[in-house]
Amino acid sequence: GGAACSRKQIEELTTFGPGYEAKGLVSLALLGEGVLDSLTQEEIRSPVAKYFTPEQAREMARLAGANRGDMFLMVADKPSLANKALDGLRREIGQRLELADPNVLHFVLIYDFPMFEWNDEDERWYSVTHPFTQPRPEEAHLLESDPGAVHSRSYDLVCNGWELGGGSIRIHRREMQEQVFRILGIGPEEAQRRFGHMLEAFEYGAPPHGGFATGIDRTVALLAQQDDIREVMAFPKTKSATDPLTGAPGEVTAEQLAELHIAVTDTEEATS
C-alpha cells in the first residue's frame, strides 16, 4: 500500500536514509489496477523511473512479492552501509504504520559475525567486535590469506531491534592472539607494551573461556516499553554527560590535579 503515500510522506522517508550514512534513498511505486503483467512505463512513479523498464519493475516486484499499489524504497551503496540504512528505515516504517505489536517480544540470537572489516580510508582491517574474539576453528587457516572471509565465535541477543546482550569465545593461545594483532596492524613491540601481561599469561596454559552478558537497563526499558534507557535509570546522565543530581562534572582544584599527575596548560588559538 505504499503507493498511496503522499509526496511529503515519501520525502520524509527518502531523507531518513542518509541519516544512517547511506548516500541516498529513492522510491519506486507501482500504480494502476489489474494484473502486474500489464504494468506500463507511465504506471511507474519514481524520480528514477526512466532508468527502469516495465519488465525490470515487474521482475523486482516478483522477487519482492510486491504488486500494484506497493512501493519500493532502495539504497545504492556498499552492502554494509545499505544494510544499516535499510535496517533503520524498516524500523521507522514499522513504527509509523504500527506494524509491530509492542506487547509481543521477538527474540533472535545472532552469531557468525565477520571477524574483521576493511576500512577504505585507513586501508587496514579493524575488528568487528574486539581483537580478543576467537575465529571459527574451521576458518582459522584463512587469517593470513583472506581475513575478510573469517567469522568470529561471537553472538548477540536481540529483541524487537534492541541488542540486550552479547558475548564471545575468547582467544587463549598466544600465537593466535599475535596473529590477530598483526592483521590489525599491531606490531610485536606495541602488542607487548599494551597486552604483554595477557600474552604472557597464555603461555602458562590459559583454559578455553568465554562469556555472555546482558544489559539490565536495556532489558527493563524494553519490558517497560520505553524508547530511552535513561527512563529506567535511577540517576541518569543527560545527553551532554552531565549529572542533574550532583551537578557533575564540576571544577577540580590544583591539588587534585597534582595528586593525579595531570597538568592543564593553556594553548594559544592558531591565527588564520
pLDDT in tens, 113-172: 999 999 988 999 999 999 999 999 999 999 999 999 999 999 999 998 889 999 999 999
Residue 106 has pLDDT above 60, yes or no: yes
Residue 24 is predicted with a pLDDT of: 73
Average pLDDT estimate for 240-256:
89
Mean pLDDT score, 171-184: 97
Given this model, what pLDDT does residue 23 score? Answer: 67
**Range scoring the smallest mean pLDDT among 184-188, 209-213, 265-269:** 265-269
- What was the pLDDT predicted at 185? 96
Predicted pLDDT at 231: 93
Task: Please state, as a whole number, how many other Cβ atoms lie within 10 Å of the Cβ of residue 244.
Answer: 10
The verdict on domain 107-223 having CATH code 3.30.930.10 is yes
d(CA 178, CA 131): 10
* pLDDT at position 14: 64
pLDDT (average), residues 169-177? 97
For position 227, what pLDDT does the model report? 86
**Mean per-residue pLDDT, 206-228:** 93
Q: What is the pLDDT of residue 268?
A: 66
Give the pLDDT of residue 169. 97
- Give 54-91 pLDDT, tens digit per residue: 999 999 999 999 999 999 988 888 887 888 888 888 88
pLDDT for position 16: 61
User: Average pLDDT over the chain, rounded to whole?
Assistant: 89
**What does the pLDDT look like over 3-29, one tens digit per residue?**
778 878 877 776 665 556 556 778 899
pTM of the model: 0.73
Identify the CATH number of the domain defined by range 2-96: 3.30.1360.30
Residue for cell digits 599475535?
178
Where exactly are the structural domains of the chain? 2-96, 107-223
Burial class (CB in 10 A: 0-12, 13-18, 19+), 211: exposed
Stated length of the chain: 272
